[in-house]
Amino acid sequence: MGDTDLFSPLTLRDLEIPNRIAVSPMCQYSCDTDGLPTEWHRVHLGSRAVGGAGIVMTEATAVEPRGRITRHDLGIWDDEQASALEPTTEFIRDQGSVPAIQLAHAGHKASKRKPWEGNDPITPKEGGWEVLSPSPEAYPPFGEERPEMRKATGEDIQDVVDAYREAAERSLSAGFEIAEVHAAHGYLLHEFLSPVTNQREDDYGGSFENRTRFVREVTAAVREVWPDDKPVFVRISGTDWLDDGPESWDVEQSARLAADLAELGADLIDVSSGGLHPDQDATGGPNFQVPLAERVDEGGDIAVGAVGGITEPKQADAIVRNGRADLVLVGREFLRDPYFGLRAADELAGEEAPAKWPIQYRRGVR
């Protein structure tokens, strides 16, 4: 078929993903305050499935209420939320795409306002909630302006592991075929990984093994309930971008973690970066995180996804063709153009394009 690798299927376990383009998880802040999906989610995610993406992934979906960034995040901590997601997964599958869910806990970045309402923390006085962190002492002093921060106890950690396991079970019942553990962007699991934010002296802090324990436990818990024939992804920040600062999380540790997660049954590492610290020295621009994915790929026997600044079909195709990543995740370009997948198929494969415009739309495109 045509001269493209972007439209070759990707098989992970027994799941065949029709092409290498995934909709990157993107918060929509469009729930009421109950974590239930609204029509917005169904139309938003459904449109991208119509638009030719091989995988359509939900936004960060909270495994427990205190793990929400805002009150308006999607949640999967109860069965009603799982049932309400079913029509969306069914629609995505009907379009020939694969429904995926990102399972998340925001850690200390929880209890905030929506971006278009200022993005700032909701204080206890304003009805904000207590947020979890590995080491509150690692953060600059905060007073009235911040939510209350709680140092995660051993029991809290176990509760979150259990919440991930139960959220994965619910996700399966909702019809998702891929579960992604969100361990990036300065949220709870990443906070434990990075020595910048993890200053614990117990089994969850200090050495590489201790700092990675929480994400390994969460991945193992998800894998325990996720069927053997379906893949589990983990999104990490490949680096904190603090190479000139204090000891931090970097790409060498990411490659090592990828190998450990592969042993636990993870199938793909989705390599993003940063989000942990305001002093991060990140560049941005086209393909800026792809070298991180390449380095993680060298770490172990596991597929990798590249994300960040991927906006053009030929660019995405070249990443796969040159073996730089197995999957390309596209975020903002899918906000600008829900049909990015179909446009890429037309541009790269022409008449032979395997991703087809829906029959209802053909008079518009042929």
Ligand X SMILES: Cc1cc2nc3c(=O)[nH]c(=O)nc-3n(C[C@H](O)[C@H](O)[C@H](O)COP(=O)(O)O)c2cc1C
**Positions marked active-site:** 187
b/e string for 276-304 if b means 16 or more Cβ within 10 A?
bbeebeeeeeebebbebbbbbbebbebbb
Q: Which of 80, 246, 323, 332 binds ligand X (CB under 6 A)?
A: 332
Q: Which of 307, 316, 328, 353 binds ligand X (CB under 6 A)?
A: 307
CB of 287 to ligand X, least distance (A): 10
Say whether residue 310 binds ligand X (CB under 6 A).
yes
Structure tokens at 128: 């904000």
Say whether residue 309 binds ligand X (CB under 6 A).
yes
- 126 burial class (0-12, 13-18, 19+ CB within 10 angstroms)? exposed
Question: Measured between alpha carbons, how far is 310 from 325 in angstroms, rounded to an integer?
Answer: 12
Whether the CB-CB separation of 249 and 195 falls below 8 Å is answered with yes
Which range touches ligand X (CB under 6 A), out of 4-12, 89-97, 159-167, 303-311?
303-311
CB of 278 to ligand X, least distance (A): 17
Q: Which of 21, 50, 56, 60 binds ligand X (CB under 6 A)?
A: 60
For ligand X, give the closer residue by CB, 332 or 362: 332
Say whether residue 182 binds ligand X (CB under 6 A).
yes
CB of 74 to ligand X, least distance (A): 9
Query: Which residue's entry shows tokens 């989610």?
Result: 41
Q: In this structure, is the dihedral angle defined by the CA atoms of residues 160, 165, 170 and 176, taken in order, positive or negative?
A: positive
Q: Which of 37, 308, 313, 341 binds ligand X (CB under 6 A)?
A: 308
Which range touches ligand X (CB under 6 A), out of 5-13, 23-31, 203-211, 290-298?
23-31
For ligand X, give the closer residue by CB, 101 or 221: 101
Instruction: Report which of 58, 288, 60, 309 is spatially closest to residue 190, judged by C-alpha positions.
Output: 60
Structure tokens at 119: 């993005």
Which single residue brings its beta carbon nearest to ligand X?
331
Interface positions, 224-263, toward ligand X (CB under 6 A): 235
Interface positions, 136-155, toward ligand X (CB under 6 A): none
Question: Measured between alpha carbons, how far is 151 from 160 in angstroms, rounded to an integer?
Answer: 13
Question: Measured between alpha carbons, how far is 16 from 23 in angstroms, rounded to an integer?
Answer: 16
Q: Which of 5, 8, 15, 26 binds ligand X (CB under 6 A)?
A: 26
b/e string for 26-55 if b means 16 or more Cβ within 10 A?
bbbbbbeeebbbbeebbebbbbbbbbbbbb
Say whether residue 25 binds ligand X (CB under 6 A).
yes
Interface positions, 268-287, toward ligand X (CB under 6 A): 272
CB of 59 to ligand X, least distance (A): 4
Question: Measured between alpha carbons, how far is 344 from 285 in angstroms, rounded to an integer?
Answer: 20
Instruction: Report which of 131, 30, 144, 33 is spatially closest to residue 88, judged by C-alpha positions.
Output: 30
Say whether residue 59 binds ligand X (CB under 6 A).
yes
Q: Which of 10, 12, 22, 27 binds ligand X (CB under 6 A)?
A: 27
Question: Measured between alpha carbons, how far is 356 from 39 in angstroms, rounded to an integer?
Answer: 25
For ligand X, give the closer residue by CB, 26 or 36: 26
CB of 168 to ligand X, least distance (A): 17
Structure tokens at 129: 């909630």
Q: Amino acid identity, residue 350?
A: G
Interface positions, 88-127, toward ligand X (CB under 6 A): 102
CB of 283 to ligand X, least distance (A): 12
Say whether residue 305 binds ligand X (CB under 6 A).
no
Question: Measured between alpha carbons, how far is 226 from 35 in angstroms, rounded to an integer?
Answer: 22
Which range touches ligand X (CB under 6 A), out of 244-252, 317-325, 326-334, 357-365?
326-334
CB of 320 to ligand X, least distance (A): 15
Residues that bind ligand X in the complex, under the rule CB under 6 A: 24-27, 59-60, 102, 182, 184-185, 235, 272, 307-310, 330-333
